């Protein structure tokens, strides 16, 4: 799932005039994704930073991203969980909406991608 997510970020369009940085947080007790992120870091046209956050939980992982972004002096953040893929205009639309509405926060749609073992379970829940 993480590989698909990273591929979707690498394929972003209309972002050439922006300094895009990717912060990937591995939110497992022991690091499990460093090799995946490192492999994509050489292919992705944006700087990539890998962080290991052993304390479990999406809020903790996101707070780690926020702390890192603040330390980097980032103007904006866009979160994308590893079970999602971004449309090619995910980042550009996020930036466009933020600038148009002078917004401090926003949410862009993304698509959930299920690995095969969860796909049938999800379909049966509908």
Q: What is the pLDDT of the chain when averaged over all its residues?
A: 84
pLDDT tens per residue across span 47-56 = 999 999 999 9
The pLDDT value given to residue 45:
83
Q: Is the dihedral angle over the CA atoms 87, 91, 92, 95 positive or is it negative?
A: positive
**Tens-digit pLDDT profile for residues 80-112:** 888 889 999 999 988 888 888 887 766 655 555
Q: Which residues pair with 84 in a beta bridge?
A: 112
Q: Are strands 48-52 and 22-26 parallel, antiparallel or unpaired?
A: parallel
In which band, very low, low, confident or very high, does the pLDDT at 119 lie, cut at 50, 70 and 90?
very low
Q: How many other C-beta atoms lie within 10 A of the C-beta of residue 74? A: 14
User: Quick one: pLDDT at residue 111?
Assistant: 56
pLDDT of residue 83: 87
pLDDT-wise least confident of 6-10, 41-45, 99-103, 116-120: 116-120
Whether residue 65 has pLDDT greater than 80: yes
């Amino acid at each position: 799932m993480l590989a698909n997510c990273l591929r979707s970020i690498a394929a972003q369009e209309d972002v050439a005039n922006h300094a895009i940085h990717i912060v990937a947080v591995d939110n497992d007790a022991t690091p499990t994704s460093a090799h995946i992120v490192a492999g994509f870091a050489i292919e992705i046209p944006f700087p990539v930073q890998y962080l290991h956050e052993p304390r479990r939980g999406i809020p903790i992982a996101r707070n780690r991203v926020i702390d890192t972004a603040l330390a980097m002096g980032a103007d904006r953040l866009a979160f994308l969980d590893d079970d999602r893929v971004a449309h090619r205009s995910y980042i550009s639309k996020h930036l466009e909406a933020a600038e148009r509405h002078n917004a401090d926060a926003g949410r862009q749609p993304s698509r959930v991608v299920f690995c095969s073992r969860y796909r049938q379970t999800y379909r049966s829940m509908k």
